[in-house]
Structure 1
Amino acid sequence: MVSIIWRDRLIGNLTLDQLRVLVTVSDAGSFSAAGRSLGRVQSAISQAVKTLEETQGIDLFDRTSQKPTLTAVGRVLVDQARAVLASADRFEAIAAGTRMGLEPALTLAIDPLVPTAPLIDSLRALRDTFSDLPVSFSTEGVGGAERRLRDHSASLAFCLLLPSVPDDLMAYPLMDLNLMPVAAADHPLVRLGRKLHRADLEAHVQLVLSDAHGNDGPSYGVIGSRIWRFVDLGRRLDFLLAGFGWCKMPPFVIEPYLKGGRLVKLDISDEGISPTGTLPVYAVHVRNRPLGRAGSWLLEDLRKRLIK
């Protein structure tokens, strides 16, 4: 029955069945062993290989010895046949999943300040549960994850939404994020050795995460006009460690540098100048574009892991 299913499917002048026979002969070691594996007589296996050779105008097997062996081109094409068969299997799996309510693909976007560590276990479990689901994952500049939701290039985002959740989005709280004001140990702000006031901070460069598309948008926690803008968290960390400015960073990024003495927490006199309260991290999708089966599963699994 399996051989009949594959036999009717054509790729140009190839059939998937011919490719399956070729791979099975290579794996089994002989035409007769391939016939037993596929439940066919040896003559049918030989004819399938012969037809494939004739349509392609090449010899896949060297028949000068008692046991046919793959030619050089045959060895290369066996690998190609495996890839084609794997793609065909994946094609069918995605189609079957869609019939059962599974989205054809899941695209995820994450803002730079959001830690990826909590996502790892859930993404691994998602992969194990929906092994044939294509999943893409991208990190974005500030506001980028939200923008990707609206232009339909992401179906689920993990991000901060400031100052509030927009009406067109559905947001599910996942965790709270703390940001800590820090500077390099040899930075002038650290050398002051006292509580810092607005004028102290305004006199020095602030390293700010920005929108990758150059959109200014609202500025939260930005003090003064001496600003260097960065799209990714890692690059900003490099310049922070090099002493070019100060900024607020999530503890999960800077903890090793605080312990090692390369970074120092800044003591700011007025909480209103640079608030250090927690910020909510959300899982978000567009309200009129509900999550599919896999997206809903991922969201539920992640919330179970994070919300105790």
Structure 2
Amino acid sequence: MYNIEQLNMLVHSAELGSFSACARKLGKVQSAISQGIANLEIDLDVVLFDRSTRKPTLTRDGERIYTYAKAVLHQVLELEKVALATSKAEEPIVKLAFDSALFTPKLSKLLQQFSEHFPHTGLEVITVASTDIASYVESGKADIGIIFADLAFNRNVDLCFIGNLSFYGVCHPQHVLSSKKELNAGDLIPHRQLLLRGEHGNELQHFAAISATLWWANSFDAILALVKQNIGWAYLPRHMVASLITDKQLHQLPMIFDHKPWNLPVDVITAKGASFGPALNYLFEGLKAILE
């Protein structure tokens, strides 16, 4: 029966153009390569190389077998990498939950780096309302989460403050509020406000319901889409709306009570007393820098 070593000889001989070059590459004598290829041909009952020329070349059948042999060797290499990762106690999968508002460019870059450092660890990305994430972590649906800090201080998870995210009050450029040079809370009351609310009915405590008419969504992406349809006004993360304001697709509301942009504190949370494997620890440390 053929083996991995013989497939390796086949692939290297085909790619390097000779049995002697293959022998040098693999640190063997040429006769060992020639015999290995001959045995492989016997096992497969296929002539792999045309030896009538000075340099052996793949036959048509040999080219077909070469393609499959190369694929097998690639899978063997991946198997070895997975085995090595397993021996290092790397997790098979890490589940990360975060509010879509926190999918910043730095978080995107961190996930790219994670894929390079842990190519054999799966990552499940779960985007849900910030107010729902603690329950995901507590129940084991997520290993780690990024949330807007709970003002009630959830004692059922471990918290790590990582910074603040700025928010702007915005509306559509054709919204009636866009004509105002300054706005107080009373000016906002008659106009529909869009707020975040999770699947369990919990709202972000940082944003008060100011308007008489309210709509809710469970993601800031949905709220942004509604604002762009001129359905109401809302507070949205600066990184989501800054370019839209510059391009005049959105209007920044001149709130007299907002001397500076709203800055919401952000926490990374994990299950109480959870142990970290290498991949989860890498992610945890990297998340500390996504708002710097």
Q: TM-score range by the shorter chain?
A: 0.7 to 0.9
Q: Does 1:264 align with 2:251?
A: yes
TM-score by length of 1: 0.73
**Given the alignment, which residue of 20, 25, 29 partners 1:32?**
20
- 3-state DSSP of counterpart to 2:288: helix
Q: Does 1:84 align with 2:72?
A: yes
Q: Which residue is equivalent to 2:175?
A: 187
Q: Structure 1 residues 73 and 290 mapped into 2: Cα distance closer, same or farther (>3 Å)?
A: farther
Render the CA deviation track for 1:65-118: whole Å, top value 9, x for unaligned.
Answer: 443323455445544444433333333333334433443444433320114223
Render the CA deviation track for 1:140-198: whole Å, top value 9, x for unaligned.
Answer: 13146545534545433323243444333222111111222210111123235552546
Q: Does 1:93 align with 2:81?
A: yes
In the alignment, the residues of structure 1 paired with residue 141 and residue 70 of structure 2 have an alpha-carbon distance, to the nearest angstrom, of: 31
Q: Structure 1 residues 225 and 268 mapped into 2: Cα distance closer, same or farther (>3 Å)?
A: same
| Residues 141 and 232, structure 1, Cα contact 8 Å, conserved in 2 | no
Amino acid at match of 1:299: F
- 3-state DSSP of counterpart to 1:179: strand
**Given the alignment, which residue of 280, 283, 307 partners 2:265?**
280
In the alignment, the residues of structure 2 paired with residue 197 and residue 142 of structure 1 have an alpha-carbon distance, to the nearest angstrom, of: 26
Amino acid at match of 1:17: E
Q: Does 1:134 align with 2:118?
A: no
Q: Which runs of 5+ in 1 are unaligned?
A: 1-12
Q: Which residue is equivalent to 1:303?
A: 288
- 3-state DSSP of counterpart to 2:101: coil
Amino acid at match of 2:202: P
In the alignment, the residues of structure 1 paired with residue 61 and residue 273 of structure 2 have an alpha-carbon distance, to the nearest angstrom, of: 52
| Residues 141 and 210, structure 1, Cα contact 8 Å, conserved in 2 | no
Identity of aligned residues (%): 25
| Residues 142 and 210, structure 1, Cα contact 8 Å, conserved in 2 | yes
Amino acid at match of 1:290: S
Amino acid at match of 1:240: V
Amino acid at match of 2:241: I
| Residues 156 and 271, structure 2, Cα contact 8 Å, conserved in 1 | yes
| Residues 164 and 291, structure 2, Cα contact 8 Å, conserved in 1 | no
TM-score by length of 2: 0.77
Paired residue total: 286
- 1:52-71 matches, cutoff 5 A: 52-56=40-44, 58-63=46-51, 65-71=53-59
Q: Which residue is equivalent to 1:19?
A: 7
| Residues 129 and 218, structure 2, Cα contact 8 Å, conserved in 1 | no
Q: Which runs of 5+ in 2 are unaligned?
A: none
Q: Which residue is equivalent to 1:252?
A: 239
Q: Which residue is equivalent to 1:219?
A: 203
Q: Which residue is equivalent to 1:294?
A: 279
